[in-house]
């Protein structure tokens, strides 16, 4: 049975001991030219930026110095010897202990919370369990909620437990992804060797620290990779129809149409029901015969591998890919020059041919404008109870009237005489609205619908894409008071972000970091509208998510093919970010099941209502 009072006293003693020797450690670092050189390169790694060194660079530079000192027994011994006359007793005590028990890097997750910042942790590199004292880990755990975090930090033993020293790094990667990432730094093995030689390069990992894993149709998305070689290759032997793209002296093939010979292949039915998860391509260097199979998920790999094995029996591709990484690590592979195994095919894997424009195709940069113009016409006619103006649609979309009528004429039957929005508290006519042609609310969820709120009136369709400062929906109420309340609600945890970006931009960034660019503003504006009207009462997050899908089904269901996928994603986003940043408050800490289903309840905070009010 642990005596936590005595353990806390021991931790406090070692904290005092660290403070007593800190200046001597800094002095030691300045005398070590190789270390000073790396520290300087870290401090200047942020680019010019008018030669401003930010907290990020300073924190990383200090962490590197800590790791080089506290893992080096000779360094600890030299400081103790050189400064023996100056050291306080507590300083001598901790140095003597660390000389026998030096610090070490640890990659771990929390197994159990024991008592007031004491944790039982599992070191995933060794499998060992340790008792850890760390208020920092507690803060990060609370911030993440039910999201599984893995931590990387420098540990110092004290004879009773471990203590963290320096910055605590974290990420959402599964253990397999992290270990694979470490393998990219061979011949160095182990965190001590890797981080001593590749500190800056390794911590490119920080750029995906907040990226969470992604599922589509229930399947983990990511990147499966299997290399192989064939002297000759012809897609005609594979069956079905394939498209070929050529770029950078290499070729990429992806399936355009399956044929009956593929009907009994593994995961074949998912080609129709889980399109994103079943994405895959075969790449080839015609000069060398080197090839690779890349798929968007592990569930897709057997389908393509079986096609290749039956066409080329000598291949004998394995049942599972040689590498599978989740979405965050896949994103890092695109951003960096790290030696991921598909690096030599990177150009062709990322290449997309320009689609030849048809008569009625839009330029990508004009798409949003056209969409907003069409939505404005649609809303204007709905608000006035008129049928949809097909001629106006034809004009803004630059398509002939016949095509416009074919694409949009189906809305006419809903438009005549019916105002847009929720005309009754029970929303009984939702099934008659055009949104219902895109999204049908499951009967089991009708009890979750929010009642007693009204849609915006007399606004242009582009209002959904506006930021908070330029919003036609909201006016800024009292930003200074909102700032004060947000700082207080979050215990000053995000005060630097608020000072740097401002309140509104900081809030907008939560959505832009978490959702596709076509969804971030519509989702923010519609949710804040709902929260403004219903956030005084405790309501389930699921209820908000349902109303969002009913209000803007197209942008949501383009990104989330499964309705439940969006509810889960929005629920986790709300718990992880909106509730920790002071926008929403929780009635109680939700269970993982409640977070997954969105059945936990929230309110809008006073800070939210201080910041925004609905325009008159």
Alpha carbon 18 to chain centroid, angstroms: 36
pLDDT at 569: 92
- pLDDT for position 280: 94
**Treating both helix axes as pointing N-terminal to C-terminal, what angle do 563-573 and 541-551 enclose, rounded to 10 degrees?**
130
Confidence band of 382 (pLDDT split at 50, 70, 90): low
215 within 8 A of 559, measured Cβ to Cβ: no
Within 10 A of 145 (CB to CB), how many other CB atoms are there? 19
What is the β-pairing status of strands 162-171 and 129-133? Answer: parallel
Name, of 65-74, 445-454, 589-598, the range with top average pLDDT: 65-74
Per residue in 299-332, pLDDT (tens digit) is: 999 999 999 999 999 999 999 999 999 989 988 9
User: Alpha helix (H) ranges present in 124-241?
Assistant: 135-144, 175-183, 191-202
Contact 439, 550 (CB under 8 A): yes
Q: Which of 347, 228, 225 is nearest to 294 (CA)?
A: 225
* 598 close to 542: Cβ distance less than 8 angstroms: yes
> Is residue 249 scored above 50 in pLDDT?
yes
Q: Is the torsion defined by CA of 295, 301, 305, 307 positive or negative?
A: negative
Higher pLDDT, 397 or 171: 171
Q: Which of 336, 15, 24, 400 is nearest to 198 (CA)?
A: 336
Distance of CA 387 to the CA centre of its chain: 42
Q: Whole-angstrom Cα distance, residue 527 to residue 177?
A: 34
CB 131 within 8 A of CB 10: no
CA separation for the pair 240, 237 (Å, rounded): 9
Residue 438 has a pLDDT of 54
Averaged pLDDT score across all residues of the chain: 85
Q: What is the model's pLDDT at position 462?
A: 63
Q: Are 178 and 124 in contact (CB under 8 A)?
A: yes
15 falls in which pLDDT band (50, 70, 90)?
Answer: very high
Question: Could you tell me how many residues make up the chain?
Answer: 616
Cis peptide before 313 (omega within 30 of 0): no
Q: What tens digit of pLDDT does each residue of 227-246 get?
A: 999 999 999 999 999 999 99
Q: How far is CA 95 from CA 11, 134, 572, in A?
A: 14, 20, 44
Contact 421, 394 (CB under 8 A): no
For 332-360, what is each residue's pLDDT tens digit? 988 888 999 999 999 999 888 765 554 44
> What values do phi and psi take at 14, rounded to 5?
-70, -30
Contact in structure between 581 and 485 (CB atoms under 8 Å)? no
Q: Is the pLDDT of residue 459 over 50?
A: no
Cα dihedral angle (152, 157, 162, 163), rounded to 10 degrees?
A: -70
How far, in Å, CA of 605 to CA of 599, rounded? 19
- CA nearest 125: which of 194, 63, 59? 194
SS3 assignment for 14-76: HHHHHHHHHHHHHHHHHHCHHHHHHHHHHHCCCCCHHHCCCHHHHHHHHHHHHHHHHCCHHHH
Q: Distance between CA atoms of 55 and 52, rounded to whole angstroms?
A: 10
Which pLDDT does position 460 carry in this prediction? 43
Task: Provide mean pLDDT across the span 514-531.
Answer: 89
Which residue from 163, 13, 30, 8 is spatially nearest to 88, judged by alpha carbons?
A: 13
- Give the model confidence (pLDDT) of 126-159 as tens digits: 999 999 999 988 888 777 665 679 999 999 999 9
CA 4, 8, 9: angle at the middle one, nearest 5? 120
Cβ atoms of 335 and 328 closer than 8 Å: no
Classify residue 562 by burial, with Cβ atoms within 10 Å: 0-12, 13-18, 19+: middle
In what helix (H) or strand (E) does residue 130 lie, and over which residues does it extend?
strand 129-133
Three-state DSSP class for residue 339: coil
Partnered with residue 171 across adjacent β-strands are 150
pLDDT at 428 over 70: no
| Nearest partner of 130 among 141, 145, 119, 139, judged by Cα | 119
The pairing of strands 250-257 and 241-247 is antiparallel
């Amino acid at each position: 049975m642990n005596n936590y009072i005595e353990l806390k006293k021991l931790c406090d003693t070692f904290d005092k001991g660290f403070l007593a020797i800190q200046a001597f450690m800094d002095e030691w670092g300045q005398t070590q030219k190789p270390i000073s050189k790396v520290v300087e390169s870290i401090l200047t790694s942020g680019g010019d930026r008018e030669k401003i060194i930010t907290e990020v660079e300073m924190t990383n530079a200090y962490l590197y110095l800590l790791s080089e000192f506290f893992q080096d027994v000779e360094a600890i011994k030299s400081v103790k010897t050189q400064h023996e006359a100056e050291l306080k007793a507590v300083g001598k005590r901790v140095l003597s202990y660390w000389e026998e028990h030096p610090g070490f890097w640890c990659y771990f997750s929390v197994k159990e919370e024991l008592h007031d910042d004491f944790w039982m942790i599992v070191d995933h590199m060794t499998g060992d369990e340790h008792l850890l004292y760390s208020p920092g880990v507690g803060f990060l755990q609370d911030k993440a909620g039910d999201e599984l975090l893995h931590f990387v930090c420098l540990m110092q033993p004290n004879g009773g437990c471990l203590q963290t020293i320096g910055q605590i790094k974290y990420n959402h990667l599964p253990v397999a992804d992290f270990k694979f990432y470490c393998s990219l730094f061979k011949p160095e093995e182990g965190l001590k060797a890797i981080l001593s030689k590749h500190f800056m390069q390794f911590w490119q990992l920080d750029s995906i620290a907040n990226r969470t894993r992604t599922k589509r149709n229930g399947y983990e998305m990511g990147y499966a990779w299997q290399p192989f070689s064939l002297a000759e290759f012809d897609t005609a032997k594979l069956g079905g129809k394939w498209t070929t793209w050529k770029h950078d002296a290499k070729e990429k093939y992806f399936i355009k149409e399956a044929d009956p010979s593929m009907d009994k292949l593994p995961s074949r039915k998912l080609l129709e029901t889980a399109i994103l998860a079943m994405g895959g391509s075969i790449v080839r260097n015609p000069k060398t015969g080197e090839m690779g199979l890349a798929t968007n998920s592990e569930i897709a790999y057997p389908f393509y591998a079986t096609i290749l094995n039956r066409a080329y029996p000598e291949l004998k591709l394995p049942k599972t890919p040689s590498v599978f990484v989740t979405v965050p690590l896949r994103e890092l592979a695109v951003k960096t020059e790290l030696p991921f195994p598909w690096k030599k095919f990177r150009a062709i894997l990322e290449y997309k041919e320009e689609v030849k424009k048809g008569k009625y195709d839009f330029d990508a940069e004009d798409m949003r404008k056209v969409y907003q113009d069409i939505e404005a016409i649609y809303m204007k006619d709905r608000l006035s109870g008129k049928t949809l103006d097909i001629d106006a649609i034809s004009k803004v979309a630059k398509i002939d009237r016949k095509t416009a009528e074919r694409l949009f004429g189906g809305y006419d039957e809903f438009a005549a005489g019916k105002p847009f929005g929720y005309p009754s508290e029970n929303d009984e006519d939702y099934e008659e609205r055009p949104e219902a042609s895109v999204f049908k609310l499951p009967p089991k969820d009708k009890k979750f619908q929010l009642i007693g709120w009204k849609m915006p009136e007399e606004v242009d369709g582009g209002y959904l894409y506006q930021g908070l400062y330029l919003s036609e929906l909201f006016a800024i109420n009292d930003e200074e008071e909102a700032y004060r309340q947000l700082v207080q609600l979050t215990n000053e945890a995000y005060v630097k972000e608020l000072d740097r970006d401002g309140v509104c931009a900081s809030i907008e960034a939560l959505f832009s970091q978490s959702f596709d660019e076509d969804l971030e503003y519509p989702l923010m504006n519609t949710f804040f509208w709902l929260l403004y009207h219903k956030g005084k009462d405790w309501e389930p997050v699921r209820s908000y998510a349902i109303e969002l899908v009913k209000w803007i089904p197209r942008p949501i269901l383009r990104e989330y093919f499964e309705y439940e996928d969006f509810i889960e994603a929005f629920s986790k986003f709300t718990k992880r970010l909106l509730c920790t940043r002071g926008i929403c408050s929780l009635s109680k800490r939700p269970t993982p099941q409640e977070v997954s289903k969105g059945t936990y309840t929230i309110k809008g905070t006073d800070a939210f209502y201080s910041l925004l009010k609905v325009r008159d």
